[in-house]
């Protein structure tokens, strides 16, 4: 290929001129023939220091390292916790079986009944007691139902109340009246309402306490639904469903009350087809039969 750049104009010829050569740069590394490692000096000069370290300082450091516990990995900790949880679960199951056998043992039950227990039909069970209550406080509250033979609050080995006890009357009719009066409403003693019930363990057949899988009640905040929560917290179901149940009616005379009551009946009869489904779905035991209640029934209910 011939070089015909001379035929081009000068400004085009500049484009075909060769570039200048690369500048020379001196190398930054040593040449291979001059390369070498650092000389190694002997350790004979520090041999005495090494022997001193091996005899005195090293044993002290090893003893300190053994005293400090090694860090346990998360997997090992998790396995240890699982093993401890399994041991606790097995111990709890064995204890549950032992208590269930003792509960179903007729010989042991007869011995305890002779030594500790009274007549079950004269005994009233009280639970959810304030831990500061004494037998004297309970006797003041329950003496209005009859003569009390004995009161016992169950306590632990340190003498602290466990929150339940038994009241034994001299007559079974007094105990029955007490249970009938307080079983649904409870009784406010101290800072909480207490539960009042019969001694179900000896009155009802095949009864078991809550620690053995039976029982009733429990904590209200762990129950689902309004009825279960009310039954566990010693409150009346009617009051829970209808908070205005406790409010007293207005003090009108008899004629004025009959007049307003008659007007209310007429208004409800006029609008009965419109709200018929609403009244059918309402299940309040007090207001559901409101139209069939007479004035004498209301007065006897509220007075």
**pLDDT for 108-143, tens place per residue?**
777 777 766 777 888 899 989 989 888 999 999 999
Mean pLDDT of the chain: 74
Q: For residue 227, is pLDDT > 80?
A: no
Provide mean pLDDT across the span 47-69: 80
All domains of the chain, ordered by start, with CATH? 117-240 (3.30.70.330)
pLDDT of residue 276: 40
**Residue range 249-301, pLDDT digits in tens:** 444 444 554 555 566 566 555 544 443 433 333 333 333 343 444 444 444 44
Model pLDDT, residue 236: 45
Decide if pLDDT at 89 tops 90: yes
Non-local CB neighbours of 103 within 8 Å, separated by 6+ positions: 109, 208, 209, 212
Top mean pLDDT of 58-67, 196-205, 231-240 is at 196-205
How confident is the model at residue 283, as a pLDDT? 38
Query: Taking 60 as the threshold, does the pLDDT of residue 188 lie above it?
Result: yes
What does pTM read for this prediction? 0.46
The answer to whether residue 71 scores a pLDDT higher than 70 is no
CA angle 150, 151, 155 (to 5 degrees): 135
pLDDT of residue 222: 56
Higher per-residue confidence, 99 vs 255? 99
How many Å apart are CA 193 and CA 72, to the nearest integer?
50
Q: For the residues 181-195, what does the mean pLDDT come to?
A: 86
Going by pLDDT thresholds of 50, 70 and 90, the confidence category of residue 70 is low
Cα dihedral across residues 233, 234, 240, 244: positive or negative: negative
Q: In this structure, what are the phi and psi dihedrals at residue 151, rounded to the nearest 5 degrees?
A: -130, 135
pLDDT of res. 116: 67
Token output for 217: 């009640």
């Amino acid at each position: 290929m011939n070089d015909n750049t001379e035929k081009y104009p000068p400004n085009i010829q500049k484009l075909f001129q060769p570039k200048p050569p690369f500048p020379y740069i001196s190398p930054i590394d040593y040449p291979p023939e001059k390369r070498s490692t650092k000389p190694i000096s002997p350790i004979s000069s520090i041999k005495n220091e090494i022997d001193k370290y091996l005899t005195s300082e090293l044993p002290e450091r090893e003893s300190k390292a053994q005293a400090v516990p090694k860090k346990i990995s998360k997997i090992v900790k998790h396995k240890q916790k699982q093993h401890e949880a399994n041991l606790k679960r097995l111990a709890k199951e064995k204890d549950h079986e032992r208590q269930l056998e003792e509960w179903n043992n007729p010989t042991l039950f007869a011995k305890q009944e002779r030594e500790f227990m009274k007549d079950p039909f004269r005994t009233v069970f009280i639970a959810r007691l304030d831990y500061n209550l004494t037998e004297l406080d309970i006797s003041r509250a329950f003496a209005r139902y009859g003569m009390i033979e004995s009161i016992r609050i169950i306590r632990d080995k340190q003498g602290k109340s466990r929150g339940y006890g038994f009241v034994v009357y001299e007559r079974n009719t007094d105990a029955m009246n007490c249970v009938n009066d307080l079983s649904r409403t409870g009784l406010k003693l101290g800072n909480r309402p207490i539960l009042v019930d019969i001694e179900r363990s000896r009155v009802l057949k095949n009864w078991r306490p809550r620690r053995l899988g039976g029982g009733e009640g429990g904590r209200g905040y762990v129950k689902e639904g309004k009825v279960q929560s009310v039954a566990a917290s010693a409150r009346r179901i009617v009051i829970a469903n209808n908070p205005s149940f406790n409010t007293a009616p207005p003090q009108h005379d008899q004629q004025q009350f009959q007049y307003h009551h008659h007007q209310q009946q007429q208004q409800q009869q006029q609008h009965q087809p419109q709200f018929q489904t609403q009244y059918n779905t309402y299940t309040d035991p007090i207001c559901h039969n409101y139209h069939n209640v007479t004035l004498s029934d209301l007065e006897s209910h509220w007075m």
